[in-house]
């Protein structure tokens, strides 16, 4: 069984929990860290002979075109994380369409390959926002990886399926690759990566991946560049909990990723999709 390794490519100050404390207009004043930390993950994957799916923000691609080219040249998949990390809950359908279209156009022109997939900032396609999935399909996307089947405040898609599946959207279909969860006492717990990967014992993620293997389905794991960047400057004025959640465990992420990549096999979502449907890859 080969799982999916995915990376949401964004700056350390663009995470949703910081949004209320950090106006977008100030983003350009912060030192950029995304290139070096993303390359750390690219090189780690390559050391292990593996490739991943990089969901890149349009905002980042515009400012760091060389990074997108480097990811693509390494044989990794480039996909879209929207434009400016605004959650889908904060966009209307017209704004959403513009974000997924413009980020896709830019990423395709930089990578020279079709963009097939999308992941919403903070898994923000929540129940009631299914119109976003229809727009993705209309815009030519082939899969989504935003429906996190967990019950959490502000994000998640409780009631969603835990395994990869097809979404029937009337005229279109879209494949859905939900982030990894762990089923416990009839509840779905988040186990896809990010905070749980940094803050829980490694065995937690490993257990979720092993159970996926036992069910013969690939698990979808995710991590952010800022999670492998212990030296990132601390954003001032964050509330206590936001600070703890963002920075805790950050010094150990690289070592943990090394163990994860030595234990399990991963590939881009694109490769699994190609087995589910014939996909034209490359220009
Ligand atoms: Zn994100």
CA of 274 to the centre of ligand 1 (A): 25
Cα 155 to middle of ligand 1, angstroms = 12
Predicted TM-score (pTM) of this structure: 0.95
pLDDT of residue 149: 95
Maximum distance among all Cα pairs of the chain, rounded to whole angstroms: 50
Q: Which CATH architecture has domain 3-10+31-233+249-276?
A: Alpha-Beta Barrel (3.20)
Along the 283 residues of the chain, how does pLDDT read in single tens digits? Answer: 999 999 999 999 998 888 888 889 889 988 999 999 999 999 999 999 999 999 999 999 999 999 999 999 999 999 999 999 999 999 999 999 999 999 999 999 999 999 999 999 999 999 999 999 999 999 999 999 999 999 887 789 998 999 999 999 988 999 999 999 999 988 899 999 999 999 999 999 999 999 999 999 999 999 999 999 999 988 888 888 888 888 888 999 999 999 999 999 999 999 999 998 765 544 4
CA-CA-CA-CA torsion sign (229, 230, 234, 238): positive
Helix (H) or strand (E) holding 42: helix 34-47
Say how many Å lie between the CA of residue 165 and the centre of ligand 1: 23
Judge whether 125 and 176 are in contact, CB under 8 Å: no
- Can you tell me the distance from the alpha carbon of 181 to that of 161, in angstroms, rounded to the nearest whole number? 10
Every domain of the chain and the residues it spans: 3-10+31-233+249-276
Residues 6+ apart with CB under 8 A from 193: 6, 179, 180, 205, 221, 222, 223
Sequence-ordered strand ranges (E) for the chain: 3-9, 53-56, 77-80, 117-118, 143-144, 165-169, 172-176, 181-184, 187-190, 220-223, 266-267
Centroid of ligand 1 to alpha carbon of 12 (angstroms)? 10
CA 110 – ligand 1 centroid, Å: 20
| C-alpha of residue 151 to centroid of ligand 1, in Å | 18
Model pLDDT, residue 190:
95
Q: What is the pLDDT of residue 283?
A: 43
């Amino acid at each position: 069984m080969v799982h999916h390794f995915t990376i949401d490519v964004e700056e350390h100050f663009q995470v949703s929990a910081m949004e209320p404390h950090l106006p977008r207009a100030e983003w350009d004043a912060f030192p950029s860290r995304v290139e070096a930390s993303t390359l750390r993950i690219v090189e780690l994957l390559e050391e292990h002979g593996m490739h991943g799916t990089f969901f890149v923000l349009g905002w980042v691609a515009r400012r760091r075109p060389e990074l997108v080219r480097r990811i693509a040249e390494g044989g990794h998949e480039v996909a879209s994380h929207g434009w400016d990390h605004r959650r889908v809950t904060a966009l209307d359908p017209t704004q959403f369409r513009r974000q997924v279209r413009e980020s896709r156009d830019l990423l395709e022109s930089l990578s020279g390959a079709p963009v097939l997939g999308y992941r919403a900032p903070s898994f923000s396609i929540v129940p009631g926002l299914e119109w976003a999935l229809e727009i993705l399909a209309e815009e030519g996307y082939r899969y989504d990886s935003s429906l996190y089947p967990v019950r959490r405040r502000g994000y998640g898609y409780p009631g969603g399926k835990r395994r990869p599946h097809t979404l029937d959207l009337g005229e279109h279909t879209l494949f859905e690759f939900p982030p990894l969860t762990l089923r416990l006492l009839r509840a779905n717990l988040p186990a896809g990566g990010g905070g749980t990967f940094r803050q829980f014992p490694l065995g937690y993620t490993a257990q979720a991946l092993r159970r996926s293997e036992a069910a013969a389905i690939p698990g979808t794991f995710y991590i952010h560049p800022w999670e492998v960047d212990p030296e990132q400057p601390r954003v001032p004025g964050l509330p206590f909990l936001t600070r703890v959640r963002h920075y805790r465990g950050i010094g150990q992420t690289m070592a943990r990723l090394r163990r994860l990549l030595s234990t399990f096999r991963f590939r881009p979502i694109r490769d699994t999709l190609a087995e589910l449907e014939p996909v034209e890859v490359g220009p």
